[in-house]
Amino acid sequence: MSLKQGFEAVDRGDRGLGVRDRVLVLPSVICSRIVADRIAAAVPGAVSAPHDHGCAQIGDDKSQTLRAFLGVGSNPNVAGTVVVGLGCESIQSDDVAADLTDLGIPVRETAIQDAGGTEATVDAGVDAAAQLREAGGSDTERTADLSDLTVGVVSGDLSASTREVADPLVGEVVDELVGAGARVVAAGSERVVAHPDDAAARAASDETAAAVGELVEHHRGLPARASRVGRDAAVHEFDAVTRAWGDQPVRDVLDYGERATHEDGLALVDAPSRFAEAATGLVAAGAQIVVHVTGEGVPTGHPVAPVVKVSGDEATLSAVGDDVDVDATSASANDLLDRLRAVAGGERVRAEEHGLEASAITRVGPSM
């Protein structure tokens, strides 16, 4: 397949091209997540991005959550965002709305304590989402191809089937995408922390190597958090745990929630390999599509970006094959590229078909 084969995408100007046309209902705090879910459920084309944050967060943890809000809200798959608050949270909904407005995002805002309670907030939010849905209908479409996209990649485990079957397939596709001029963002900072010298050696510049070192020092200064991927990464060679990244040098290191700005090539997002947290970090970086390698068959997608599930585990494929988009035991790189192009053109992934979506935001450390 030619990577230049076209599909129709929504032109979001400086934000890039949208391969979905979502109205995002974004709770600014855990306390408003159910209200946000109800609003999104009442408006066709609207999605909610629930999370457990926004209350009593301080310092770097608060900054990271806000950064993630802004990154997800400005993803090119988002036509506009309704921010829903409670009113007493540490990250106020009107502040999030103002920051998104400064980024040029169509925004509406409502809060439970301002609107007059739960039902009044749901009504106000539904009206706001419907307004954004109607306004988004005037966005222009243009023909695009895979080289125009930012593709997110996360490998959720380091089982033998992942390392030896699925990751190499995804890595081959990453090399093809980058060779055509696409931008790739990868999650999985545990791999870097386990192999700091090898990761720095893979950096495309001295500046990026220094950023890799800063990432490692940052994680060493955080409270220890058990991670199976982190333990497994330390057992295997660096090349063996980063096969899903292809043979690409790391051109940039992004904070969690930070938007990717590198022109093409591979950048590392400081995100864990846990799927829901990783997917949010990749979406915030600007990924319109996410590729998730899963030996365990994790079925959930993300509300903002379609997630292409790839597995090379024969037992998983036998048990939950209907939740997997690409069987890495038999697929070629061209097969996966074909699937990515079809999804970019509007074909639904399995998680979308099944209505399985999850979002989460990773934490810097314990909150109050």
Mean pLDDT confidence for 33-45: 97
Return the pLDDT at 353.
Answer: 97
Mean pLDDT confidence for 21-39: 96
Return the pLDDT at 225.
Answer: 64
Confidence tier at 3 by pLDDT (50, 70, 90) = confident
In single-letter form, the type of residue at position 251 comes to: R
The answer for residues whose C-beta is within 8 angstroms of residue 106's C-beta and 6 or more apart is 79, 80, 81, 132, 135, 136
**CA-based end-to-end distance of the chain:** 52
Partners of 109 in beta bridges? 83
Beta pairing class for 7-11 and 141-144: antiparallel
Mean pLDDT confidence for 266-292: 97
User: Rounded distance, CA 170 to CA 310, Å?
Assistant: 8
Return the pLDDT at 55.
Answer: 87
Return the pLDDT at 368.
Answer: 53
Mean pLDDT confidence for 277-304: 98
Return the pLDDT at 288.
Answer: 98
Q: Tens digit of pLDDT for each residue in 224-260?
A: 666 789 899 999 999 999 999 999 999 999 999 999 9
Whole-number percent of the chain with pLDDT over 70: 97
Closest by CA to 282, choosing from 295, 268, 294, is 268
Confidence tier at 83 by pLDDT (50, 70, 90) = very high
User: Rounded distance, CA 225 to CA 221, Å?
Assistant: 12
Report in angstroms the alpha-carbon separations of 232 from 222, 235, 273, 298.
19, 5, 12, 19
Mean pLDDT confidence for 74-91: 95
Confidence tier at 220 by pLDDT (50, 70, 90) = confident
Return the pLDDT at 355.
Answer: 95
Return the pLDDT at 366.
Answer: 60
Rg over CA atoms, the chain: 20
Q: What are phi and psi of 232, to 5 degrees?
A: -65, -35
Of how many residues is the chain composed? 368
Q: In order of start, what are the domains of the chain with their CATH numbers?
A: 22-138 (3.40.50), 144-354 (3.40.50)
Q: Tens digit of pLDDT for each residue in 177-211?
A: 999 999 999 999 999 999 999 999 999 999 999 99
